Chain A
Amino acid sequence: METEIYKIAAAGIIATILALTLKRDNPVFGVFVGIAISVIILLALMPALTEVFGIFKEISSLAGANTDYILIIVKIIAISYIAEFAAQICSDAGEAGIGAKIEFGGKVIIMTVAAPLIVSLIKEITGMLP
């Protein structure tokens, strides 16, 4: 799993060079190459992420925390994963405004997903108070 970083770095550099050459004639292809390479890298990182989540679940089950909190956290990570992917592509293509909107959308959705977690947390805290 450690050698994965070499492939990712090499692919990224090759794609950057290709994007620059294509950008000169028509910029759209530069953006296409940017999207393609970010998809490739994210897909290449999927197995590593599953491993991380496996360890995450193991630790949480050892610590005795109930599992639906972990599910919410996993969902939040997935949402931020996608939102950052799209926002980065948009700002690379020069549309920082659209990227910021996507980022904002991601934050709002994460807020809605995390709401039950926050509510139960506050309940526990108030419960502890005398």
Chain B
Amino acid sequence: MEISVVFRIAAVGILVAVFNQVLARAGRDEQATMVTLAGIIVVLFWIVQYISDLFTTVQTLFQL
């Protein structure tokens, strides 16, 4: 029941949103999309790792 993963994702999401606002105000829009992309990729890696853990657990549990 470790819920820290959700909080980590939320933290990255909020950081990306803040950076977007700051960079958009500063007029550097392409860097804003870069930051969003980077945030999405980082979280994607965590999620993929986490889902593979789930699938291996299910596999061992159900002897699939």
Residues of A within 8 A of B (CB): 7, 11, 14-15, 18, 21-22, 25-26, 28-29, 32-33, 35-37, 39-40, 42-44, 46, 49-50, 53, 71, 74-75, 77-79, 81-82
- Alpha-carbon separation in the docked complex, A7 to B10 (Å): 19
* Inter-subunit contact B10/A28 (CB<8 Å): no
Q: Can you list 24 contacts pairing A with B, beta carbon distance less than 8 Å?
A: A7-B1, A11-B1, A11-B3, A15-B6, A18-B9, A25-B13, A25-B16, A26-B13, A26-B36, A29-B10, A29-B13, A32-B43, A33-B6, A36-B9, A37-B6, A40-B3, A42-B54, A44-B1, A49-B61, A53-B62, A74-B62, A78-B58, A78-B61, A82-B58
* Inter-subunit contact B14/A22 (CB<8 Å): yes
- Alpha-carbon separation in the docked complex, A77 to B3 (Å): 26
Candidates A18, A40, A50, A82; contact of B2 at CB < 8 Å: A40
* Inter-subunit contact A82/B55 (CB<8 Å): yes
Name the B residues within 8 Å of A33 (CB-CB): 6, 9-10, 13
Q: Scoring B residues 7 to 24 as 1 if CB is less than 8 Å from chain A, else 0, what string do you get?
A: 101101110110010000
Residue B31 interfacial (CB < 8 Å): no
Tell me the total A-B contact number using a CB cutoff of 8 A.
93
Name A's interface SS: helix
Residues of B within 8 A of A (CB): 1-3, 5-7, 9-10, 12-14, 16-17, 20, 36, 39-40, 43-44, 47, 50-51, 53-55, 57-58, 61-64
* Inter-subunit contact A26/B17 (CB<8 Å): yes
Chain A: CB-nearest residue to B43: A32
